Amino acid sequence: MNGKNNIAIGFLTMGFFMAYGFLLIYLRDFAPGKVEWANSYSVGKHFESRLAHVHGNLFAFLNILIGYLLIHFRDKIQSTKIISWLALLGLLMPIGILTEVYFGLPPFLVLFGAITMTTSVIWLGISFFKLREQSFINI
């Protein structure tokens, strides 16, 4: 079902990045070298880790919202499967940031995920513009 997986994977991804936030709190407040970590707030791994945490939760929430809308408007919007998959592939963006931080990989996943998520959001927006106002009655 188009949308169901976006909701399920969105919640699981959000849970992961929320838990990752606890790691960031540990690194900031309790880990050996916490002062150096806190002082590197706007540069390097610290900054990139925060980007992954924030974008991971944002993109997870977008998947939950997109999934809900795709299910609710499945009979009125075309290309729901493509929009659904593009949104899911968008999760590669924050995952790509983590692979850069922890494994030194190039930013391919970051760019690919950002492009696919942006495309899904724009595509869904255009789809809603094409809907007749009557489609929103009984929401």
pLDDT category of residue 136 using cuts at 50, 70 and 90: low
Q: 38 and 100 in contact (C-beta within 8 Å)? A: no
Quick one: which of 12, 20, 21 has its CA closest to 60?
12
| CA 118 to chain CA mean position, Å | 10
pLDDT digits (tens, 9 = 90+) for 47-81: 999 999 999 999 999 999 999 999 999 999 999 99
Query: What's residue 71's pLDDT?
Result: 96
Among residues of the chain, what percentage have pLDDT more than 90?
Answer: 80
* pLDDT greater than 80 at residue 108: yes
**Residue numbers of the domain that contains 58:** 4-136
Three-state SS at 86: helix
Task: Say which range, 16-20, 36-40, 99-103, has the weakest mean pLDDT.
Answer: 36-40
* pLDDT greater than 80 at residue 14: yes
Q: 2 and 74 in contact (C-beta within 8 Å)? A: yes
Among residues of the chain, what percentage have pLDDT more than 70?
Answer: 96
Q: Which residue has the higher pLDDT, 57 or 37?
A: 57
Query: What's residue 134's pLDDT?
Result: 64
Query: What's residue 135's pLDDT?
Result: 65
CA distances from residue 10 to 35, 70, 85, 96, 119 in whole angstroms, order as listed = 34, 14, 12, 16, 17
Query: What's residue 79's pLDDT?
Result: 95
Q: How many domains does the chain have?
A: 1
Quick one: which of 130, 46, 127, 138 has its CA closest to 87?
127
